[in-house]
Structure 1
Amino acid sequence: TAKYSPNAHVLIISNPVNSTVPIFAETLKKAGVFNPKRLYGVTTLDVVRASRFVAEVKNLDPKDVKVTVVGGHSGVTIVPLLSQTGLEFTKEELDALTHRIQYGGDEVVKAKNGAGSATLSMAYAGARFANSVLEATVGGKKGVIEPSFVKSDVFAKEGVEYFSTNIELGPEGVEKIHEVGQISDYEKELISKAIPELQKNIEKGNKFVQ
C-alpha cells in the first residue's frame, strides 16, 4: 500500500484492531506516507451488536436503536454508552448488556464449537463502513457518521494515541472526531478500565514495527 497506493483509504478489520491499526500507521510512517485521516480501524460490528442486544432486552427493532460504542475493539476496551440511548436500564441490565457487547464475538465462537466466528455480521459491518467511506469520499455525501478506531486526541492526555468514537467522514477521510459527550459514572468507570488495556495494545502494535 505504502509503495503503490500511498493515498489510499485503508480500512483495518483484521484483529486485534487495537494493535493492527498502530502497526499499519507505523509502517506507513516509515515510508513517509502516513495520513491519519485515511487510516481507520473498523469497529462497526460493536455498534451493530450493541443495537441488536439492546433491542432484544427492550423489545424494539434494532434499526430504531442507536448505541454509541467507544474505546477499542476487544474485551474491556469496548465501552457501550448506554446512557446516551435515551432508554432506562437497571444495574443488572447494564452489567449483562455491557458484558455481552464486549464479549459477543466469544459467544459466536462457542456456539459454533470453535469451528468459526461471526463471519456474516463481520462482513456486514465491514461492507457498511466501506460504503460510508465511499459515500463521503467519492459520493460527496455530507454528515456521514460512523464509529472508528483512529488516531485521536480524545484521550491523548492519558497516553492513548488511538481511540474509537464516532467520526464524521468527508472528501479527505476523517473530517471530524467526536468527543464521547456526556456519560454516566458507570461509563466513566468502564473507560478508566479500558485506557490501560488500550495503552498496552497500542504499544504492542508500535513495537511490532520497530
Structure 2
Amino acid sequence: MAIRVAATLRIADRLAKTPSTGAELADAVAADPGALERLMRYLAARGVLGRGEDGRYTLTALGEELRDDHPAGMRAMLDIESWEGRAELSFAHLLHSVRTGEAAFPRQFGRSFWDDLAADPARAAAFDARMAAEVPGRAPAIVAGYDWGSLRHLVDVGGGDGSLLIALLTAYPALRGTVVDQPDTARTAAAAIAAAGLSGRA
C-alpha cells in the first residue's frame, strides 16, 4: 500500500526533479509532513527510495518505475485514485464476493464499476485508452484467426474505440459490424469508424 500511496501522490516525479525531504514535499503533494516523512523513510528501507545524509530522498532504479513517464506504466496502474487502483482496492472484499456471489466493487465504493467510470470522465478516458492500447498488438491475430467473411454482421460487445471492428471491416469488405459499449465510448467508436470511411457498414 505504501507504494500505491507514493504512486498516487506522484512522489517519484517530484523526486526525479529535485531530491527532497518529506517536509519539503508535503505541501506540493497535499500531505501531512510527518506522515509523508515516515512513508518515505519506509520506502527507503524497502529500496524504492534512497536517503542521503542530509535527509533528502532520491529515486532508486526501483523507484524510477513509479515515474509517470516510465515505459512500464506502473504509476497509473498503482494509483489508488485511478480506475485500475480502485478496481484492485475492491479486492479487499473478495471473501465477501466468494461467500455471497455479490460484486466487490459496490461494497467498496457504493456503486458499480461502470457507474463509477461514468461519474468520472477522466477515469473513463483512461480506461478507454488502456483498452484501446491493447488492440493493435492483438488485432492481426484476431483478424487472421477466423473466417470473418463467413459472417454478414458482427457485434463487438465491449468494442471500445472501434479499433478491432475497423480492422475486421477493412480486411473483410462484405462484413458489417456494430460496436456495443458505454454511451460515450460508443460515440468515440462511431467517430473512429466514420473517420475510417466505414460508416455505411457499421
TM > 0.5 between the two? no
Relative to its length, the structure with more strand (as a share) is: 1
Q: TM-score with structure 1 length normalisation?
A: 0.20
Kindly indicate whether structure 1 or structure 2 has the higher relative contact order, using CA contacts under 8 Å at least 6 residues apart: 1
Relative to its length, the structure with more helix (as a share) is: 2
Q: TM-score with structure 2 length normalisation?
A: 0.21
